[in-house]
Amino acid sequence: MAESPFKADIERVEKEYSEKMTPGAIVYLPGSSVINKTGSWRVFMPEFHKDKCVRCYLCYVYCPEPAIYLDEENYPVFDYDYCKGCGVCANECPTKAIVMVREKK
Amino acid sequence: MEIPENVKKRLSLPFEENFYAGHTACQGCGAALGLRYVLKAYGKKAIFTIPACCSTIIAGPWPYSAFNAPLFHTAFETTGAVISGIEAALKAKGYKVKGEDGIMVIGWAGDGGTADIGLQALSGFLERGHDGLYIMYDNEAYMNTGIQRSSSTPYGAWTTNTPGGKKHFLERRHKKKVIDIVIAHKIPYAATASVAFPEDFMKKLKKAQKIPGPSFIQLFAPCPTGWRSPTDKSIEIARLAVQTAYFPLFEYENGKYKINMPSTKKEPKPIEEFLKLQGRFKYMSKDDIEVLQKWVLHEWEELKKKAEVFG
Amino acid sequence: MEYKPIKKVISGNYAAAYAARDARVEVVAAYPITPQTSIIEKISEFLANGEVENLQYVPVESEHSAMAACIGASAAGARAFTATSAQGLALMHEMLHWASGARLPVVMVNVNRAMAPPWSVWDDQTDSLAQRDTGWMQFYAENNQEVYDGVIMAFKVAETVNLPAMIVESAFILSHTYDIVEMIPQELVDEFLPPRKPLYTLTDFDNPIAVGALGTPADYYEFRYKIEKSMEEAREVIHKVGKEFGERFGRDYSQMIELYRTEDADFVFMGLGSLMGTVKQAVDVLRSEGYKVGAAKVRWFRPFPKEELYELAKNVEGIAVLDRNFSFGQEGILFNEAKGVLYNTDAHPLIKNYIVGLGGRDFTVSDVKKIAENMKGIIEAKKLDREVEWYHLKR
C-alpha cells in the first residue's frame, strides 16, 4: 500500500507545530492543516470496488481535499483521515467502482 | 508518491500537491478544488493574496495553513491593490515576475470581492498593467457570510436575502458579466474556466504565466452549501453550466476571442438540466426559467458573434 | 564622512519627498489630494529625471488602494511610502489597522487638512488624530526641517518595532510654505538608515508563510497585546534614534515632548505641530513682558509621551492645551489625552483646553497672548473659568 502524500508533512508538522505567538499572527508552518483530521466530518464513506476500476484517475483529479492518492498499481487509495465524504469521486466514477455507504461509527 | 510513467502520460495535471488536506472547506467545495489546481500549476513559486472570503477560512486559522506557498490575507476590497503592491515590490527588488521561471503574483478572490466591493481595485490593477494574475472564483453569492446575493448571482436564485417567500422575492437581476468589464480594459489575457474541466483550467493558468501583463480568470466554482445542491454533484453541476452555455469557457487573448466549450456547432443543453440539480432554483416558475433560458442563449449568441468577428 | 548639510529652500511637501528619496524608498503608492499632491509630484519628478534607482511608483485609483498597495509591497519586503490628507486618510482608515496588525513599517506623510463638510483644504488636526487607535505611530512636525528629519527617523523607528508611522505636517502653513531645510548627504542617510530587515517576507519560497490568518478568541487577544508591547518599546527606540540623529546631524529629537523655556514657568502652552512655532515666538514676547511661560510641543502623539508629560506637569501650575482639532461630544483630543494621563498621578496642574485654528483659521502671536492673559487669571484664582473654550468663536 502506497503512503499518503502527506505522511512526511504530518510528521514534520507534529514535530515543529507551535502555538508560539509571533507578532503579526504569522503562520510559519506551511501545510500545517494536515493536523486537522477532517475525516471525522464524514457521514457517508466511499467504498471502493477494485474489480470495476479502470484506473482513469478522475476520482483523484476531482477530490477537493485531496484525500485520494494512487497505490503502486495506480489504483486509488482513500485517505480516511481527511476524506469528508462529499461523494464527488463516486459521482464522477464512470464505472461505478466507488459507492458511497453510510459509515458505521 | 512515485508516479508511474503511463499515468503521467494520461494526466497532464502535475502530481505535486501544494494544497494540503485538513483544510476546512465544506464537503464538495469547488473553491477548494480550484485552489488545489492553482497550487498544482504554480507550485510554491507563487505569492497568494486572499481577501475576506471562504478561502480565508479554507486556508486555515492561525496557526494553520493549508498552503505550501506564501499567502497574504487582506481586506475585502483590496485584492487588486495588494497584488499591485507586491508586484511593484518584487520589481523594485529585482525579482523576475511572471514568465517561465518568474514569480506568480496571484489574487484569489470570490465573486463578491471581485464583482462588487473589489471592482475598483481590480480595475486599477488591470488598467495599470501589473504583471499578475487575478482569479475570481465564482460561487455566485456571498457564501462566507452565509449566502447573500452578489452581482454575480443569477436570475431566479434563492439566497438568504432573496429568499423566495410568498411574494416570490427572488433574485431578479441577471448575473453581472464581470469578464466583459475585465475585457473592456483590453488586457492581454482573460478567460473563463471551470473546476469541472481541470486540464482546460491548467492550460489557461500556464498561458496566464507566459503572457506578460495582467491576466484574469473567472473560475466557476460550485458551492453545495449555498446552492442547496448535493455535495457529490459539484462537478456535474459545473459541467452542465458549461454544456448549457450558462457559463461558456472562452479566452480573450490579445484582442481575439476563442470559445473552448461548449461546441458552437450544436445547440447547448436546456438550462433546466443545470437548474434542477440545485435547490436554490426550486422557487423558479416556468416563466422564470424561460426568462433565464432566453438570457443564456442571448449571451451565448453574443459571445459566438464576438468569436466570429474577433476570432 | 564629515556631515555637511545640503541646504535648500523648499516647501514642507518637497521636504517630505526629498526625505523619502534619501530614505531610498522602494515602492510609493499614492493618490492625489490637496494639499498633499506636490509630494507625489516631486517623487514623480525624481523618477522622470532618473534621480532614483529601484523605485516603483504605483499611481493607484484611491487612497484605500494606496495603503493596500503599500501593505502588499511592505509584506514583500520593500520599504514603502505614501502621502495623503483628510478625506484620503479617512478612506484609508480600514487599511491603517491592517498595516499595524500585519506589523508592516509603512511610513506615510499626512498633511493635516480639515474634514468636510463644509469643504475645506486648510489646516486642522482632526483627520490624523481620528486615526489614533489604528496602531500607527504619529509624529507632528513643527516646520519643514522636522518633516524631512521626521520621515527619515520614522523609517528607522518603524522598522525597528515593526509598526507603521505617520509624519504629520500642516496644510499650506508647512506643505506649501518655503523654508530652509538642511538635507543630509545620501551616504550619511544610508549609514543612519540601512536597508530594511523585514520581520518576514512573502518571497521566501522555501519557508512559505501565511500572514493575517483568522485569529480565534483564544489567540487574537495576545496579538493585540504584542502590538501594545511594541508601542511601548517604541518609546525607547524613539529616544535612542532621536539621540543618534542629534549626534550625527546636530538636531536632537530624543525627547518626545520638546520643552521650550519651561524651566521656572508658571504655566505652559501645549500643542502639536506647526502652531507650536507661533507659540514659541509668543513665549519670547511674553517672557520679555514678564510672563513666566513656556511651550511644550508634543512631537509624538503615538506612542503618547506619558512620562514626559508627568515630569512637566509636576513642575507647573497650569497647562493651556491648544487643540487644532475636536472630538465631538467631548473636547480637544490632546487635552483629553493629557487629562487622562495625569488623573492617576500626583501632578494635577490647572489644565484648560483652547480650541483654536480649526479649518485653517489664523492663529497668531496675539492670540497666544490673549490666552496667556486668560491663563494668568485662572492661576491667580486657582480655578478654571471653564474647561473647554472655543477661542475664536464669533459672538
Which one of B23, B74, B197, B201 would you mutate to disrupt binding with A, by most A Cβ within 10 Å of its Cβ?
Answer: B23
> Which residues in chain A are closer than 8 Å to B50, comparing Cβ atoms?
none
The yes-or-no verdict on residue A27 having pLDDT over 70 is: yes
- Residue C226: its chain A contacts at CB < 8 A? 21, 23
Q: Do the domains C258-390 and C6-249 match in fold?
A: yes
Residue C181: all three cell numbers together:
531645510
Instruction: Look up the CATH number of the domain holding residue A21.
Output: 3.30.70.20
Which grid coordinates belong to A86?
462529499
Whether the CB of C171 is below 8 Å from some CB of chain B: the reply is no
Which grid cell sits at C258?
A: 520638546
Contact A25 C200 (CB under 8 A): no
Sequence length of chain B is 311
Beta bridge mates, A78 = A68
Does residue B45 sit at the C interface (CB-CB below 8 Å)? yes
- Per-residue model confidence (pLDDT) at position B112: 97
E strand residue ranges, chain B? 46-50, 71-73, 104-110, 133-138, 189-194, 215-220, 249-253, 256-261
Q: Using one digit for the tens of pLDDT, what is the confidence trace for B218-261? A: 999 999 999 999 999 999 999 999 999 999 999 999 999 999 99
Length of chain C: 395
Q: At residue B5, does pLDDT exceed 70?
A: no
Contact B83, B130 (CB under 8 A): yes
CATH number of this structure's domain C6-249, picked from the four choices 3.40.50.970, 3.30.465.10, 3.40.50.300, 1.10.3720.10: 3.40.50.970
Task: State whether B234 and A84 contact (CB < 8 Å).
Answer: no
- Structural domain containing residue B163: 5-309
C-alpha to C-alpha distances, C20 to C13, C182, C183, nearest whole angstrom: 11, 15, 12
Q: Which residues sit opposite A45 in a β-bridge?
A: A101
Contact C65 B84 (CB under 8 A): yes
Question: Tell me: the pLDDT tens digits for C40-53?
Answer: 999 999 999 999 98
Q: Do C324 and C301 meet the contact criterion of CB atoms below 8 Å apart?
A: no
Asked if residues C72 and C18 have their Cβ atoms less than 8 Å apart, the reply is no
Please, what sign has the CA dihedral across residues B106, B110, B114, B117? Answer: negative
The answer to whether residue A2 is domain-embedded is no
Phi first, then psi, for residue B153 (nearest 5°) are -75, 135
Separation CA C56–CA C79 (nearest Å): 11
pLDDT-derived band of residue C259, with 50, 70 and 90 as boundaries? very high
Residue A69 in domain: yes
How sure is the predictor about B168, in pLDDT bands with cuts at 50, 70 and 90? confident
Q: Is A21 on the interface with C (CB under 8 A)?
A: yes
- Test mutation, A65, A71, A77, chain B, max B CBs within 10 A: A65
- The set of chains that have 3 or more CB pairs under 8 A with B is A, C
Chain segment A88-98, per-residue pLDDT in tens: 999 999 999 99
Residue B9 has pLDDT above 80, yes or no: no
Give me the pLDDT at residue A20, please: 78
Task: Please say whether the dihedral angle defined by the alpha carbons of residues B186, B187, B189 and B192, taken in this order, is positive or negative.
Answer: negative
Examine the pLDDT at B179 and tell me if it is beyond 60. yes
Average model confidence (pLDDT) across chain C: 97
Distance from CA of A48 to the nearest CA of B (A): 16
Inter-chain residue contact B29 with A61, CB threshold 8 Å: no
**C103 contact A CB<8A:** yes
pLDDT per residue over B253-284, tens digit each? 999 999 999 999 999 999 999 999 999 999 99
Number of domains in chain B: 1
pLDDT for the residue B8: 64
B92 has a chain C CB within 8 A of its CB = yes
* B307, B264 Cβ separation under 8 angstroms: yes
State the pLDDT confidence band at B6, using cuts at 50, 70 and 90: low
Is the CB of C103 less than 8 angstroms away from the CB of A27? no
ipTM exceeding the 0.90 mark:
yes
CATH number of the CATH domain containing B26: 3.40.50.970
| pLDDT at position A1 over 50 | no
Range of the domain at A40: 7-102
> Which residue reads 484525500 in cell numbers?
A67
Count of domains in chain A?
A: 1
| CB < 8 Å to C71, chain B | 74, 78, 82, 85
Q: Does B102 contact chain C (CB < 8 Å)?
A: no
Contacting subunits of A (3+ beta carbon pairs below 8 A)? B, C
CB atoms within 10 A of CB C117: 6
State the Cα–Cα distance between residues B250 and C394, nearest whole angstrom. Answer: 67
The Cα B131–Cα A65 span in angstroms is 30
CA distance B206 to B99: 9
Res. C395 pLDDT band, cuts 50 70 90? low
Predicted local confidence at residue B2, as pLDDT: 55
pLDDT score of C1 more than 90: no
Which 118-177 residues of chain B touch chain C by CB within 8 A? 120-121, 123-124, 127-128
Cβ neighbourhood burial of C290 (10 Å; 0-12, 13-18, 19+): exposed
Tell whether A50 is covered by a domain. Answer: yes
Kindly report, residue by residue over C140-188, the tens digit of the pLDDT.
999 999 999 999 999 999 999 999 999 999 999 999 999 999 999 999 9
Count, residues in chain A: 105
In a domain, A43, yes or no: yes
Question: Which pLDDT value is given to residue B3?
Answer: 58
Residue C139 in this model has a pLDDT that exceeds 50 = yes
Separation of alpha carbons B286 and B294, rounded Å:
12
| Count of beta carbons in the 10 Å neighbourhood of residue B162 | 21
Query: Is B1 in CB contact (< 8 Å) with chain A?
Result: yes
Identify any residues that bridge with B136 across adjacent strands, giving them in sequence order. B109, B218
> Is B77 within 8 Å of C71 when comparing Cβ atoms?
no
Which of C209, C219, C226 lies nearest to residue A23, judging by beta carbons? C226
CATH number for region C258-390: 3.40.50.920
Say yes or no: C208 contacts chain B, CB-CB below 8 A.
Answer: yes
Confidence of residue B145 (pLDDT cuts 50, 70, 90): very high
Residue among A41, A53, A78, A88 with most chain B CBs within 10 A, to mutate: A88
Dump pLDDT digits (tens) for B28-67: 999 999 999 999 999 889 999 999 999 999 999 999 999 9
Question: What angle separates helix C333-343 from helix C306-314, to the nearest 10 degrees?
Answer: 80
Domain ranges of chain C: 6-249, 258-390
Residues of A in contact with B19 (CB under 8 A): 66
Omega of the bond leading into C118 within 30 degrees of 0 (cis): yes
* Dist CA C186 CA C3 (whole Å): 11
Q: What angle do CA B79, B83, B86 make, to 5 degrees?
A: 145
Per-residue pLDDT at B4 exceeds 90: no
Q: Omega of the bond prior to C35 within 30 degrees of 0, cis?
A: yes
Which pLDDT tens digit goes with each residue over C358-380? 999 999 999 999 999 999 999 99
Give me the residue label for grid cell 480594459.
B185
Q: Give how far A95 is from chain B: nearest CA, Å.
A: 16
Q: Pairing mode, if any, of strands B71-73 and B133-138?
A: unpaired
Q: How far apart are the first and last CA of chain A?
A: 24
How far is it, in rounded angstroms, from Cα C130 to Cα C115?
10
Residue B123, pLDDT score: 98
Q: Which residue of B has its CA nearest to A3?
A: B1
Per-window interface: C 6-45 vs B, CB < 8 A: 26-27, 29
| Residue A6 pLDDT level (bands cut at 50, 70, 90) | confident
Question: Percent of chain B, pLDDT > 70?
Answer: 96
CB-based contact A30 C208, cutoff 8 Å: yes
Is residue C145 within 8 A of residue C251, CB to CB? The reply is yes
Which of the four pLDDT bands, split at 50, 70 and 90, describes residue A9?
confident
B and C: number of Cβ contacts within 8 A: 167
Task: Report the alpha-carbon angle C33-B88-B255, nearest 5.
Answer: 95
DSSP label of C114: P
Is B165 a residue whose pLDDT tops 90? no
Chain A partners of C232 at a C-beta cutoff of 8 Å?
none
